[in-house]
């Protein structure tokens, strides 16, 4: 007889959480895509036989929160359980089912014990290249962006679908890396299933029913208790963003009741012609992440803790883009949705919500120009990632040059220069870029670079907060906007374009600063003095704090 | 007894205890002591331990032929922020390398987190005009004229140490060396560390952190080492003192004073060395060492008698031991996972009704509730007392009284009441949670290394290792455990088996297919001669082994695999076998190679070490005889949770070949081995306890 006391169930829950982390780690280590390695842009989860998520790895980016939970439900409904056999693996990269753009492959594997399906493991990873125009906002529809694979069986009783694999390779600029990544995904699902079944044997479980109820109920109850601390009401916010061809408005209405938090995007601008549109699953992921940072962040992601968060939006708005809209760079605006949501929550919980931050990462894919390749010059492709400042917190300054909401790693100059023919001449915090306030916003940074050889190079830009700076809260001031320039050119560079930097030209980009929190006049004079002494605030910049010297 | 026979001392100064071990010949422990660490002057406690050990064995300090010392002083100075005031000097345009770091939060959902304190504030971050390229070519010459102004800036900060880290200095150290010379000339009192010596690897943030950490503890450690050496010399020690390093080797006092950062975590490294030695003696190819003390547990994978190594380590992680929350240093280390699980770890029930254990620890003060030193929170040791595994009559050589009632009361009040459990069931839950935590950390560590725990033998030591070994092994799927003799002073014993060694890692980016052989061979020549110089200072005559390594990966992939190189110049014909070696190693970790993918190399390393004494494998298997214990003690069954009797014996009453069925308690002066209900224990020819899962 298996002992299912609360303490024993807790041990099993801990084991499941450990299993998904191991699953995720397996995937990160074997991945080829730099964004996976640097950002941990993957997910791994375990599901019960009904398709309810029981545990999910805490990985580098929040873009997979509930996208995975929903995707598994869909696959689970699409393929009847009685037709499943040991060794089967299902997959899709449909942006509206998986994770918002074609590069994210999602796999699901039924775990068998004693001839019966006892649960599912699933994982998602970002593949390097799926053909089309490649990673960039230039596609006009999803067909421009590459290969879409509808839900299908990738592995049939242990036999990989060879034709499917050939199609994926034939439609990619990086066929070897793609194949490697797909095998890594399969291995990840298998490892998870093996561990899951092993755990059931260790604890003498024939099914996950009691454990699943315990996890989901405990998490739901804890989340509802946390929600009970949020005053009931309807909270609205509008966030202006740079957009592609024109500036856009993101609208949110957050309705808080005792049972749930309902976020709705009615009023949000329509889709862009270019690939910055966001499928609802992805907008939901980042929105729920932001809410869970403030409410019940001590409870792990699972069907119980996610259930009280509901996100909707009218079809066709840019946060609920419909097929066949282009969506390759859905993270550009997806990463802005936390500021949209936090702008609602701050009305309910003014003492717990930070000011707006840079939010969208400055992710800069760079490569050689086509003629350099033709003339036998230096060929390269790198993806630099840098960040601006986070918003000031209600009781602390913002963090300078730090990723939020994503969890990316910034690039190291010495590594960039070792692998790409560029020289970076400056990477320093930008004084006065943090919004003034009782608590100061985090600073952005200035990066300057040139070609290290006598050849031009290309930069693919899809960044935000060049026109719309991060706003402060509670009388705190806005942070500095981002800015992209090339020495010798009169006009600034747009935040979304393909940029060609000639030899001798210096590319200068400033990442945005975070907004301040509280009135600048209320800033502790000692802190201001320290900022002045260390050069984070200049004498001119100190004017924003009023006269306190 | 011959007086020519080597007589060696090992002193391991830990946070709570100072362990001293006296060994005669190759490996015969003739005395060991555990004394309280004297934080004010750690040499006092060391001297007390040494005098007691010598007195117990009837020897004198002048007879000692070898003295090895390891200390947590360097680590503690970094954790407790007790080092020098440091200024950094970096390349103009790169003042904020420390603050910008990797632009990352170590905890995804925590919007209130503060970044790690990296010891140098921005007003002490200075720059100098100069610039090297990644290939080590001068892009901007070193600005000699600016140095006077820089020195004035340093003066204004009132700093005691300077950390210099210029871009790409690992490729060309000329500017760093010039700057150090100019500062040393102008301000000889300043301790100056340069990145091209401390950690010549690419990645400016990690290199600067390492250089800062070295500079930070350098004045303190130099003073400590000089005083320690003088103190023991004055008392009659006639041999040099060698220092244990994080990499598991020994080095001279002079090298240690120059690179004190290499002394961090030397105690745990000693434990891994001991486990590796035992693995070799017993012919165990795959081992998991498990070292559990009062506040943390350390696990290390040991394959073919060699502990896993790494080039990076994080100091002073935040309370939850979160990865990325500490100060990264890049030095050669024995790779270990350390988690906040020890005898003092505190159990609690959170707002969701989840039972949690650690990482908060009651330490030795106020300590577990049962110790009667003011602790009221239930700890892992309290759980072990309630479950009957720790016996009051044998605990800590009877040095202080244990109050089982206080343990039960705390367990019921803080855990049981919230979960509707009595004290025993609560203690059982605490034990399961903490053991599961340790097992999970071990499994995760194995996964990160592409390895499996299942087939391994666990070698368990430390004050709480033998007590928790069976329970952790069961949760980790391990079915064989070995408890060495003197397990509670395992780290110090390990010191005595360490080689004199020095390792250097240097960055030079290359593709394997287009390797510049002349340049790489020159790089290796300089690394070998540098490492050899250091080793010769500690072992002038001994035979040495030179190991050369390349850290390879597929182009575009993040994970590097260590590939051994021949100890000679590389040539064109090496490319094919090295490609093969990489693909084989890759396939072992990731189940298949990726043919057609290019292989790149960023880092190269050289390790020079004295050859270890030949190891005598355990020759004979003693005849087994089942032992019927005369005494029993009531315990809670670790499988069913029911009450039952466990055999109770003193370890020194056991002889090779004795066999006991679990559940059983095997007590010795400083710890107890708990043989789980589903394990059997047997004493091998060397006196090790070998625990095997029944039916395995």
The reply to whether B527 and B666 lie within a common domain is: no
Q: Of B101, B154, B160, give the one whose Cα is nearest residue B127.
A: B154
The number of distinct structural domains making up chain A is 2
This prediction has a pTM of 0.92
Residues A85-99 pLDDT 10s = 999 999 999 999 999
Residues A321-352 pLDDT 10s = 999 999 999 999 999 999 999 999 999 999 99
Residues A125-175 pLDDT 10s = 888 888 888 778 889 999 999 999 999 999 999 999 999 999 999 999 888
Give SS3 for B441: helix
pLDDT at A2: 63
d(CA A13, nearest CA chain B) in Å: 10
- Helix/strand/coil percent split, chain A, to 5: 30, 25, 45
What pLDDT band is residue B587 in, cutting at 50, 70 and 90?
confident
Interatomic CA distance for residues A478 and B244, integer angstroms: 53
Interatomic CA distance for residues A258 and A504, integer angstroms: 61
- pLDDT of B621 strictly over 90: no
The answer to whether B49 touches B38, Cβ cutoff 8 Å, is no
- pLDDT of A35 strictly over 70: no
Q: Are A413 and B204 in contact (CB < 8 Å)?
A: yes
Q: Are A297 and B112 in contact (CB < 8 Å)?
A: no
Q: Which of B202, B447, B641 sits opposite A22 (nearest CB)?
A: B447
- pLDDT of A395 strictly over 60: yes
Distance of CA B235 to the CA centre of its chain: 30
What is the ipTM for the molecules in this complex?
0.93
* CB–CB contacts below 8 A, A to B: 209
Check which CATH number belongs to the domain holding B476 and give it. 3.30.420
Residue of B nearest to A382 (CA): B556
What pLDDT band is residue B591 in, cutting at 50, 70 and 90?
low
Helices (H) and strands (E) in chain B, counts: 17, 36
pLDDT at A78: 94
Q: Which of A7, A177, A535 sits opposite B556 (nearest CB)?
A: A177
> For B646, how many CA atoms within 13 A lie in the half-sphere containing its CB?
30
Residues A141-155 pLDDT 10s = 999 999 999 999 999
Residues B143-165 pLDDT 10s = 999 999 999 999 999 999 999 99
pLDDT at B399: 65
Interatomic CA distance for residues B565 and A194, integer angstroms: 36
Interatomic CA distance for residues B248 and B491, integer angstroms: 11
Q: Which of B109, B114, B123 sits opposite A533 (nearest CB)?
A: B123
Residue at A260 is within a domain: no
Mean pLDDT, residues B646-668 taken together: 94
Mean pLDDT, residues B119-141 taken together: 96
Mean pLDDT, residues A436-465 taken together: 96
Interatomic CA distance for residues B465 and B487, integer angstroms: 8
Exposure string for A271-291, b = 16+ CB within 10 A, e = fewer: bbebbbbbbbbbbbbbbbbbb
Q: What is the DSSP string of B238-306?
A: -S-EEEE-TTS-EEEHHHHHH-GGGGTTHHHHHHHHHHHHHHHHTT-SEEEEEEE-SS-EEEEEEETTE
Residue at A153 is within a domain: yes
d(CA A61, nearest CA chain B) in Å: 8
Mean pLDDT, residues B596-600 taken together: 83
Residue of B nearest to A25 (CA): B448
Q: Are B93 and A448 in contact (CB < 8 Å)?
A: yes
Residue at B329 is within a domain: yes
Q: Are B96 and A393 in contact (CB < 8 Å)?
A: no
Residue at A405 is within a domain: yes
pLDDT at B1: 40
What pLDDT band is residue A462 in, cutting at 50, 70 and 90?
very high
Percent over 70 (pLDDT), chain B: 97
Residues A208-228 pLDDT 10s = 999 999 999 999 999 999 999
d(CA A443, nearest CA chain B) in Å: 10
The reply to whether B479 and B571 lie within a common domain is: no
Residues B523-538 pLDDT 10s = 999 999 989 988 888 8
- pLDDT of B600 strictly over 80: yes
> Which of residues B445, B464, B495 is at a domain's end?
B495
In the predicted model, what is the mean pLDDT of chain B?
90
Q: What is the DSSP letter of A317?
A: B
Q: Of B442, B404, B411, give the one whose Cα is nearest residue B429.
A: B411
The reply to whether B128 and B157 lie within a common domain is: yes
pLDDT at A425: 98
Residues B215-246 pLDDT 10s = 999 999 999 999 999 999 999 999 999 999 99
The reply to whether B594 and B684 lie within a common domain is: no
Which residue range(s) make up the domain with B684? Answer: 632-693
Q: Are B96 and A401 in contact (CB < 8 Å)?
A: yes
- Chain A neighbors of B97, CB-CB under 8 A: 427
Residues A106-118 pLDDT 10s = 999 999 999 999 9
Q: Which of B104, B122, B432 sits opposite A403 (nearest CB)?
A: B104
Residue at A156 is within a domain: yes
Q: Which of A62, A354, A402 sits opposite B103 (nearest CB)?
A: A402
Q: Which of A25, A293, A407 sits opposite B447 (nearest CB)?
A: A25
Mean pLDDT, residues B620-642 taken together: 87
Q: Are B353 and A218 in contact (CB < 8 Å)?
A: yes
- pLDDT of A547 strictly over 70: no
Residue at B240 is within a domain: no
Q: Which of B105, B419, B595 sits opposite A402 (nearest CB)?
A: B105
The reply to whether B160 and B188 lie within a common domain is: yes
Q: Are B121 and A58 in contact (CB < 8 Å)?
A: no
- pLDDT of B57 strictly over 80: yes
Q: Name the residue with higher pLDDT: B626 or A283.
A: A283
Q: Are A29 and B133 in contact (CB < 8 Å)?
A: no
- pLDDT of A471 strictly over 80: yes
The reply to whether B460 and B335 lie within a common domain is: yes
Interatomic CA distance for residues B46 and B66, integer angstroms: 15
Q: Are B594 and A180 in contact (CB < 8 Å)?
A: yes
Helix axes A6-30, B423-448, angle to 10 degrees: 10
- pLDDT of A262 strictly over 50: yes
- pLDDT of B395 strictly over 80: no
What pLDDT band is residue B294 in, cutting at 50, 70 and 90?
confident
> Which of residues B204, B225, B258 is at a domain's end?
B204
The reply to whether B489 and B513 lie within a common domain is: no
Mean pLDDT, residues B387-407 taken together: 84
pLDDT at B2: 42
Q: What is the CA radius of gyration of chain B?
A: 26
Q: Are A409 and B450 in contact (CB < 8 Å)?
A: no
d(CA A27, nearest CA chain B) in Å: 10
- pLDDT of A1 strictly over 60: no
Q: What are the strands, taking DSSP E only, across A257-389? A: 261-264, 309-312, 362-368, 381-386
Q: Name the residue with higher pLDDT: A405 or A41.
A: A405
Which residue range(s) make up the domain with A446? Answer: 354-549
Residues 6+ apart with CB under 8 A from B279: B285, B287, B302, B305, B457, B459
The reply to whether B601 and B638 lie within a common domain is: no
Helix axes B423-448, B465-476, angle to 10 degrees: 70
* 3-state SS, one letter per residue, for A473-540: ECCCCCCCCCEEEECCCCCCCCCEEEEEECCCCCEEEECCCCCCECCHHHCCHHHHHHHHHCCCCCCC
Q: Name the residue with higher pLDDT: A415 or A423.
A: A423
In the predicted model, what is the mean pLDDT of chain A?
93
The reply to whether A38 and A183 lie within a common domain is: yes
> Which of residues A167, A185, A220 is at a domain's end?
A220
Interatomic CA distance for residues A235 and B170, integer angstroms: 55
Residue at B60 is within a domain: no
d(CA B197, nearest CA chain A) in Å: 17
Q: Are B204 and A535 in contact (CB < 8 Å)?
A: no
- pLDDT of B322 strictly over 80: no
Residues B26-56 pLDDT 10s = 888 899 988 878 888 889 999 999 999 999 9
- Chain B neighbors of A292, CB-CB under 8 A: 109
Mean pLDDT, residues A176-192 taken together: 89
Q: What is the CA radius of gyration of chain A?
A: 24
pLDDT at A548: 53
Question: CB-based contact (8 Å) between B545 and chain A?
Answer: no
Residue at A477 is within a domain: yes
pLDDT at A39: 64
- Chain B neighbors of A417, CB-CB under 8 A: 133-134, 168
Residue of B nearest to A128 (CA): B556
- pLDDT of B121 strictly over 90: yes
Q: Are A187 and B420 in contact (CB < 8 Å)?
A: no
Q: Are B350 and A184 in contact (CB < 8 Å)?
A: no
Which of B98, B111, B127, B205 is best to mutate for the A interface (most A CBs within 10 A)? B111
Q: Name the residue with higher pLDDT: A82 or B324.
A: A82
Check which CATH number belongs to the domain holding B603 and give it. 3.30.1490
Q: Are B355 and A5 in contact (CB < 8 Å)?
A: no
Residue at A335 is within a domain: no
Q: Which of B100, B102, B436 sits opposite A445 (nearest CB)?
A: B100
Q: Are B597 and A180 in contact (CB < 8 Å)?
A: yes
pLDDT at B585: 87
pLDDT at A75: 95
Q: Are B556 and A32 in contact (CB < 8 Å)?
A: yes
Residues A309-325 pLDDT 10s = 999 999 999 999 999 99
- Chain B neighbors of A217, CB-CB under 8 A: none
- Chain B neighbors of A404, CB-CB under 8 A: 105, 111
- Chain B neighbors of A445, CB-CB under 8 A: 96, 100
The number of distinct structural domains making up chain B is 4
What pLDDT band is residue B401 in, cutting at 50, 70 and 90?
confident
Residues 104 to 123 of B: which have CB under 8 A from any A CB?
104-105, 108-112, 114-115, 121-123
pLDDT at B317: 76
Question: CB-based contact (8 Å) between B167 and chain A?
Answer: yes
The reply to whether B100 and B195 lie within a common domain is: yes
Residue of A nearest to B588 (CA): A30
The reply to whether B688 and B599 lie within a common domain is: no
Residues 11 to 70 of B: which have CB under 8 A from any A CB?
none
Mean pLDDT, residues B508-537 taken together: 91
Mean pLDDT, residues B76-81 taken together: 86
Residue at A302 is within a domain: no
Residues 601 to 620 of B: which have CB under 8 A from any A CB?
602
* 3-state SS, one letter per residue, for A235-256: EEEEEEECCCCCCEEEEEEEEE
The answer to whether A231 touches A83, Cβ cutoff 8 Å, is no
Which range, of A431-445, B454-468, B575-589, B632-646, averages the lowest pLDDT? B575-589
pLDDT at B34: 83
């Amino acid at each position: 007889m298996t002992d299912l006391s609360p303490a024993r169930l807790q041990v099993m829950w801990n084991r499941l959480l450990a299993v998904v982390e191991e699953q995720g780690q397996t995937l990160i280590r074997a991945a080829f895509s730099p964004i996976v390695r640097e950002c941990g842009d993957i997910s791994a989860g375990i599901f019960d036989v009904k398709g309810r998520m029981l545990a999910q790895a805490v990985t580098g980016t929040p873009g997979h929160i509930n996208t995975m939970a929903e995707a598994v439900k869909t696959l689970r409904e699409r393929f009847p359980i009685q037709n499943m056999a040991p060794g089967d693996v299902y997959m899709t990269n449909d942006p509206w089912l998986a994770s918002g753009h074609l590069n994210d492959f999602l796999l699901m594997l039924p775990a068998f014990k004693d001839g019966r399906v006892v649960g599912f493991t699933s994982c998602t990873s970002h593949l390097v290249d799926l053909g089309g125009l490649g990673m960039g906002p230039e596609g006009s529809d999803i067909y421009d962006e590459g290969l879409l694979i509808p839900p299908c069986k990738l592995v049939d009783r242990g036999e990989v679908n060879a034709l499917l694999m050939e199609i994926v390779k034939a439609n990619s600029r990086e066929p070897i890396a793609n194949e490697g990544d797909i095998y890594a995904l399969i291995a990840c699902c298998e490892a998870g299933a093996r561990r899951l079944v092993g755990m059931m044997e260790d604890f003498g479980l024939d099914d996950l029913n009691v454990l699943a109820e315990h996890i989901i109920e405990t998490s739901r109850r804890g989340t509802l208790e946390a929600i009970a601390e949020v005053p009931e009401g309807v909270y609205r916010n509008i966030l202006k963003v740079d957009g592609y061809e024109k500036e856009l408005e993101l609208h949110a209405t957050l309705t808080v009741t005792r049972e749930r938090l309902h976020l709705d995007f009615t009023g949000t601008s329509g889709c862009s012609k270019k690939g910055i549109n966001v499928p609802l699953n992805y907008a939901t992921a980042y929105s729920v992440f932001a809410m869970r940072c403030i409410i019940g962040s001590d409870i792990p992601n699972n069907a119980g803790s996610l259930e009280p968060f509901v996100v909707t939006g009218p079809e066709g708005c840019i946060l609920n883009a419909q097929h066949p809209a282009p969506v390759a760079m859905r993270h550009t605006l997806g990463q802005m949705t936390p500021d949209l949501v936090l702008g609602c929550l701050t009305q309910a919980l003014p003492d717990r919500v930070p000011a707006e931050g840079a939010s969208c990462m400055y992710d800069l894919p760079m490569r050689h120009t086509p003629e350099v390749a033709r003339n036998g010059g230096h060929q390269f492709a790198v993806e630099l990632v840098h960040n601006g400042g986070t918003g000031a917190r209600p009781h602390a300054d913002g963090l300078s040059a730090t990723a939020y909401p994503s969890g990316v790693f910034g690039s190291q100059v010495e590594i960039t220069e070792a692998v790409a023919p560029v020289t970076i001449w400056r990477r320093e915090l930008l004084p006065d870029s943090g919004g003034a306030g009782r608590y100061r916003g985090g600073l952005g940074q200035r990066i300057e670079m040139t070609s290290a050889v006598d050849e031009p190079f290309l930069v693919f830009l899809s960044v935000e907060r060049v026109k719309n700076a991060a706003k402060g809260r509670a009388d705190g001031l806005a942070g500095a906007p981002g800015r992209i320039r090339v020495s010798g050119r009169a006009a600034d560079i747009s935040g979304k374009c393909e940029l060609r930097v000639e030899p001798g030209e210096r590319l200068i980009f400033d990442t945005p600063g975070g907004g301040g929190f509280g009135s600048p006049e209320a800033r502790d004079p000692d802190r201001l003095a320290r900022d002045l002494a260390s050069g984070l605030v200049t004498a001119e910049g100190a004017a924003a704090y009023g006269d306190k010297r | 007894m011959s007086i020519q026979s080597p007589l060696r001392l090992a002193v391991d100064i830990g946070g709570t205890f100072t362990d001293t071990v006296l060994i005669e010949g190759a490996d015969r422990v003739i005395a060991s002591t555990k004394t309280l660490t004297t934080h004010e002057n750690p040499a006092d406690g060391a001297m007390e331990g040494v005098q007691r050990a010598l007195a117990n064995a009837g020897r004198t300090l002048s007879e000692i032929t070898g003295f090895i010392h390891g200390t947590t002083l360097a680590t503690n100075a970094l954790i407790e922020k007790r080092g020098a005031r440091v200024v950094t000097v970096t390349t103009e345009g790169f003042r904020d390398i420390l603050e910008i770091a990797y632009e990352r939060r170590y905890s995804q959902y925590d919007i209130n987190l503060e970044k790690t304190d990296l010891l140098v504030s921005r007003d002490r971050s200075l720059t100098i005009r100069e610039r090297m390229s990644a290939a080590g070519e001068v892009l901007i010459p070193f600005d000699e004229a600016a140095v006077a102004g820089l020195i004035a800036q340093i003066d204004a900060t009132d700093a005691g140490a300077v950390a210099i880290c210029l871009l790409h200095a690992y490729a060309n150290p000329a500017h760093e060396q010039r700057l150090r010379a100019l500062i040393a000339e102008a301000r000889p009192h300043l301790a100056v560390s340069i990145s091209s010596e401390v950690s010549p690897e690419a990645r400016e943030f990690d290199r600067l952190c390492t250089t800062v950490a070295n500079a930070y503890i350098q004045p303190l450690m130099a003073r400590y080492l000089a005083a320690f050496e003088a103190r023991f010399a004055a008392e009659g020690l006639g041999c040099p003192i060698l220092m244990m390093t994080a990499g598991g080797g020994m080095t001279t006092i002079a090298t240690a004073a120059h690179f004190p950062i290499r002394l961090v975590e030397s105690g745990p490294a000693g434990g891994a060395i001991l486990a590796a030695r035992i693995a070799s003696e017993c012919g165990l190819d795959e081992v998991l060492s498990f070292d559990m003390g009062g506040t943390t547990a350390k696990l290390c994978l040991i394959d073919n008698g060699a502990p896993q190594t790494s080039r990076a380590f994080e100091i002073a992680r935040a309370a939850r031991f979160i990865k990325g929350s500490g100060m990264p240093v890049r030095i050669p280390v024995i790779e270990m996972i350390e988690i906040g699980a020890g005898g003092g770890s505190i159990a609690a029930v959170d707002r969701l009704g989840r039972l949690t254990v650690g990482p908060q620890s009651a330490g030795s003060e106020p300590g577990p509730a049962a110790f009667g030193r003011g602790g009221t929170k239930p700890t892992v040791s309290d759980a072990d007392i309630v479950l009957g595994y720790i016996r009051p009559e044998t605990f800590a050589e009877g040095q202080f009284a244990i109050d089982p009632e206080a343990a039960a009361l705390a367990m019921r009040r803080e855990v049981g009441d919230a979960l509707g459990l009595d004290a025993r069931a609560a203690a059982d839950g605490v034990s399961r949670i903490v053991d599961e935590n340790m097992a999970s950390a071990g499994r995760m560590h194995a996964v990160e290394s592409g390895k499996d725990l299942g087939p391994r033998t666990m070698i368990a030591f430390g004050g709480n290792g033998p007590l928790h070994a069976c329970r952790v092994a069961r949760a980790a799927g391990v079915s064989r455990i070995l408890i060495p003799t003197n397990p509670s002073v395992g780290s110090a014993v390990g010191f005595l088996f360490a080689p004199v060694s020095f390792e250097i890692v240097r960055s030079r980016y290359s593709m394997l297919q287009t390797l510049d052989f002349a340049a790489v061979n020159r790089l290796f020549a300089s690394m070998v001669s540098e490492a050899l110089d250091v080793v010769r200072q500690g072992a002038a005559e001994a035979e040495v082994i030179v190991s050369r390594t390349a850290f390879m990966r597929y182009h575009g992939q993040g994970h590097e695999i260590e590939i051994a190189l021949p100890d000679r110049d590389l040539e064109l014909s090496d490319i094919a076998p090295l490609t093969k070696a990489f693909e084989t190693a890759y396939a072992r970790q990731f189940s298949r190679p990726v043919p057609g993918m290019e292989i790149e190399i960023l880092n190269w390393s050289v390790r020079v070490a004295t050859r270890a004494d030949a190891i005598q494998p355990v020759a004979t298997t003693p005849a087994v005889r089942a032992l019927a214990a005369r005494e029993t003690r009531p315990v809670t069954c670790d499988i069913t949770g029911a009450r039952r009797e466990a055999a109770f014996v003193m370890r020194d009453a056991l002889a090779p070949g004795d066999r006991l069925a679990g559940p059983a308690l095997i007590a010795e002066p400083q710890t107890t081995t708990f043989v789980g209900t589903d394990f059997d224990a047997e004493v091998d020819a060397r006196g090790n306890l070998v625990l095997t899962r029944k039916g395995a």
